[in-house]
Amino acid sequence: MTRFAALLAAALTITLGGTAMAENAHDFSFKTIDGQPLLLSEYKGKAVLVVNTASFCGYTPQYKGLQSLWEDYKDKGLVVLGVPANDFGAQEPGSNAEIKDFCESKYDVTFPLASKEVVKGSKAHPFYKWAAATLGEGMAPKWNFHKYLVDADGNLVAAFPTTLEPKSKEIVAAVNKVLAK
């Protein structure tokens, strides 16, 4: 029976896009923009702001605010994680190498970047499926630069819309709150 239960759990995980067994954000992984494993469990004990990004969007200048937030809070326990996505208006058409070069040369980005992912719909990365299921479909990304805040224990604690700047009082207050725990 134990083998059957394991097979059933594996089948459910595959069927549900890897979210069936997920208890928190630390259960997920991405690949870095350079193709290396990026396990969210490596960020246990830190808050993580996960942001789906795009290079050719009207909100692309938010990279500047994300970098500033990263610089202000990285030594206090915040990780900013950019997740490039081409889901909205095809505004991230480039390769991972092109995205990395753009972010570093135009915005001096030094925070971690994941490889390009799908962040909406049935083909969304499992983290994004889990986030939408956890907070409700109304909190799923509706455009580039949607932000999710994960606390040090891997709990998804907030979502912020595209229009909210990274250094807004709402995001800074939420970051300070999770870092104070």
With 0.75 as the threshold, say if the pTM is over it. yes
Active site residues: 57
The reported pLDDT for the residue numbered 15 is 36
The reported pLDDT for the residue numbered 44 is 97
**Residue 77 region, left (φ>0) first, then alpha (ψ -120 to 50), else beta?**
left
CA angle 118, 86, 39 (to 5 degrees): 40
What number of other Cβ atoms are within 10 A of residue 136's Cβ? 10
The reported pLDDT for the residue numbered 17 is 43
**Residue 18 region, left (φ>0) first, then alpha (ψ -120 to 50), else beta?**
left
Tokens of 168: 């807004």
Query: Which superfamily is assigned to 2-180 in CATH?
Result: Glutaredoxin (3.40.30.10)
pLDDT in tens, 102-152: 999 999 999 999 999 999 999 999 999 999 999 999 999 999 999 999 999
The span from the CA of 139 to the CA of 141, in Å, is 6
**Helix, strand, or coil (residue 152):** coil
The reported pLDDT for the residue numbered 8 is 36
The span from the CA of 41 to the CA of 59, in Å, is 29
What are the CA-CA distances from residue 56 to residues 64, 90, 94, 172 (Å)?
14, 9, 10, 25
Where along the chain do its domains lie? 2-180
The reported pLDDT for the residue numbered 11 is 38
Mark the ranges of the chain whose per-residue pLDDT is less than 50.
Answer: 1-19
The reported pLDDT for the residue numbered 21 is 59
